Amino acid sequence: MRRREFITILGSAAAWPVTARAQLPIRRIGHLAIAAPTDTPPPPPTNWHAFVQGLREIGYMEGQNIAFEHRSAHDQPELFPKFALELANLKVEVIFARGTWALAAAKNATRTIPIVGIDLEIDPVEAALVESIARPGGNITGLFLDLSELSGKHLQFLKEIMPATSRVAVLGNPDINAAQLRELGEMLVDIHGQHDHQLLLKRDRQRMLLDAYGGSEALAREVAAHFAAWRSSSPLRGPTR
């Protein structure tokens, strides 16, 4: 084989992977959120840029092998069901749903298209988005930071770190955090074997406590004072600035 022919074949072989990648179909990702990067004005870009960078790191780049279908509700959550159906009818590869309303609408719109969600305010099990954390079932996965079962663990860890703790202030909204408050109450039973926590789980009792503190300003001051006192005496405290 002549040298020129060998170089020509070698160069063609080196180009095969690039050519093959260029011929791959563009995969469409549905993006369902209150605001999208294509809005005017756009929302703060940090979270979206991190998401896009994560896709790049695993080989997915907009304009090369993926394209986004953005649907933003512009602070009108009642539009989510319509937009979720639009994405389902487009047969996107996956739906990235951001927030409670977006997730619920996406779940109602499709049982087959994978849904990747992020929500910082709900427990996906309590919201009936998944069957359980260990075995979610269905077509939803994602990042959920307000898991009710973690609330009890937080209290357990706090008690293990500071065994003498007898009073803990909990800031929350009983209309949103009922599951988290229940888990806290169950952990109290496990730790102390007492049942008085049931009074705190009654909504009227919760509201009375919140009203008594005048909307939480007084409670915030009390929490700050207790934290300052603990920090000044705790061997775990770090350097002050």
Could you give all domains of the chain from N- to C-terminal order, each with its CATH number? Answer: 22-144 (3.40.50.2300), 148-233 (no CATH)
Closest CA to 179 of 127, 105, 118, 219: 127
* pLDDT at site 49: 92
- Concatenating the DSSP letter of every residue in 111-149 gives SSS-EEEEESS--TTTTTSSS-SSS--TTEEEEES--HH
State the pTM of this model.
0.63
- pLDDT of residue 72 exceeding 90: yes
First CA to last CA distance, the chain: 74
What is the mean predicted confidence (pLDDT) over 205-220? 50
Mean pLDDT value of segment 30-56:
90
Helix or strand or coil: residue 42? Answer: coil
pLDDT above 90 coverage of the chain, percent: 34
Tokens of 170: 């909990």
pLDDT of 73 strictly over 50: yes
pLDDT at 131: 87
pLDDT (0 to 100) of residue 160: 84
The average pLDDT across 153-182 equals: 78
**224 Cβ partners below 8 Å, 6+ apart?**
none
The Cα-based distances of 124 to 136, 148, 179, 206 in angstroms read 9, 9, 11, 23
Query: Taking 60 as the threshold, does the pLDDT of residue 31 lie above it?
Result: yes
What's the pLDDT score for residue 234?
52
